[in-house]
Amino acid sequence: MSDLPPASHDEQPPEPVRVIRLELSLQSIALVICALVACFIGLRLLPVVLALVLALLLVGTLNPAIGLLERWHLKRTPAVLVTFGLLFVVGAGLTILTLAPLISQAQSLVAHEPELRNRFAAALAKSEYTAGFATRLRELKYDSLAASVASSMLTASTQVAGSVAYAISAVFLAAYILIDRDRLQGGLFAVVPRVYHIRMARVLLNLETIVGGYIRGQALTCALMAGVTWILLTACRVPNALALSMFAGVADLLPYVGAMLAVGPAALVASTQGLTTVLVVVATMLAYQELESRVIVPRVYGQVLRLPSSIVLVSLLAGGALMGILGALLALPAAAAIRMLLLAFRTSMPGEHIDDARWRARDERAERQYAERAGTVPAKQAARIALQISEQRLRQEGDRAIEVPMTPGESRSH
């Protein structure tokens, strides 16, 4: 006889154990392996990838000028050669005109460095909060710093030579891509199903607008910064105005921090002319930078870059952390391109709403028009037709960059 208590009728039978099985197909495993191999190869070929990116940036920047020459009844190859020739002549002319004065003024800045350092230390010593920094500044020794800089320059010389070689290769690659544009586009459209041709053509046009507009805008704003700084320093009789203005133009490439980098050296050298000159130089440069960010940059870039401020900041931080200064320069066009691709595939961003029915109707009309005109023509001609249709549609909509209205809180960031 058992001593166990009798079973209760209210007790529920134990729930069956759930077994979760994760089964990966051979196709999924192959895709993961291919992705890992592609990442490894990309890291190993990073200089080549950067050269290709630089070539594509040049293509997006110079293609509108080449298109203008073509509209003036100049053939494609001569138009490319004329554009690159003019670019080389302008660059060589600016180098010849500015290199000798720039070197002499840089040498003058180095020669007057002890005097400038003593002036700055004397200004810091006037306050009890900065007196310690003044003492350290006066006691600063350059022997160990010069030795470390010399060894670093010797080590980096091979890297600089390699970078110059890759940059020259990128220029020639850009010229080849521009000359052979039609055949390359035909090859690209040949491997893509025709149902996606209109969307791909719109993506290519938008990428050209984003990249080209950003680079041309950067060049113009940097030139304006250098010109304004040179006029200001020359009018204030600040020595070495050309070297300081060139530094200010290059520093203007960097968003946010470039402003402080440009003002600091100019104010330091202007201190040789007195406190009034320093205040005039600092106030004028800060006022111009505010004018540039509020008025000039939105007009120059137009609707090329339209990114929320949070995305701008995160992009700059990520680009700088991954690739340094080059990453910071490429961060904004890369972020704008990614955002454009998300919109091209109808993926809503936070705070945005896309009317899928409206966009689907427009896509269907464009695809019907493309199907009627393209038919069974070769891929090279089909690419030209798809680009013409997409360009006409974007021009009619009045927005060649990103095809949705700006949402509240977005900004056109430099």
Mean pLDDT, consecutive 10-residue segments, the chain of 414 residues? 52 61 72 84 80 85 87 88 90 80 75 75 75 72 58 65 82 90 85 82 84 83 90 88 85 75 83 83 89 78 67 76 75 80 62 59 76 78 82 66 40 42
**β partners of residue 96:** none
Return d(Cα 139, Cα 125) in angstroms, integer: 13
In this predicted structure, what is the pLDDT of residue 348?
47
Greatest Cα pair distance in the chain = 115
Return d(Cα 194, Cα 386) in angstroms, integer: 10
In this predicted structure, what is the pLDDT of residue 22?
62
In this predicted structure, what is the pLDDT of residue 149?
57
Return d(Cα 306, Cα 401) in angstroms, integer: 9
